[in-house]
Amino acid sequence: MLRSLAVAALFVSAGPALAQETTFLLKNSTGYPINELSVSMTQFNMWGPNFLRPPAIAAGQSRQVSYKAPTDYCMGDLKVGFADGGKPAIWQYLNLCTLQRISLHYDRMSGITTARYDE
């Protein structure tokens, strides 16, 4: 427990000093418009700010997105917020250091998220 708290404290205090600009192509295959996108270290649920700029990404559309990626970890989770007010969805265990393209799929009825991505 103490180790988890120490890692979490380092993650929070790292700030922009340990970040680099990262860009990848996001394809919205969820069926719903996406208006929020944030990152957390895998399984920490400590989400960074929304880095998706308006307008929302409509279902079926793709867009290059950029954010300040942490340099102290690669495995991360993506959280997506939907413009229609639906419950946010999370994709886990993604290698954010090598991510180039990702297609996000979501079944709102079951809550199951899947992704296809190229590193």
Statement: residue 35 has pLDDT above 60: yes
DSSP 15: G
How much is the pLDDT for 69?
Answer: 79
Contact 113, 89 (CB under 8 A): yes
pLDDT in tens, 38-86: 999 999 999 999 999 999 999 999 999 998 877 888 899 999 999 999 9
> Residue 14 — very low, low, confident or very high, per pLDDT cuts 50/70/90?
very low
What is the gyration radius of the CA atoms in the chain, in angstroms? 14
Statement: residue 110 has pLDDT above 80: yes
How much is the pLDDT for 119?
Answer: 58
| Closest listed residue to residue 11, CA positions, set 66, 68, 70 | 70
DSSP 10: H
> Model's pTM, two decimal places?
0.81
Three-class SS state of 84: coil
The Cα–Cα gap between 99 and 23 comes to 8
| Closest listed residue to residue 56, CA positions, set 24, 75, 30 | 30
Statement: residue 7 has pLDDT above 50: no
The mean pLDDT value of the chain amounts to: 86
> Residue 3 — very low, low, confident or very high, per pLDDT cuts 50/70/90?
very low
The predicted model gives 82-97 an average pLDDT of: 95
How many CA within 13 A on the CB side of residue 74? 5
Domain 2-118 grouped into CATH 2.60.40.1170: no
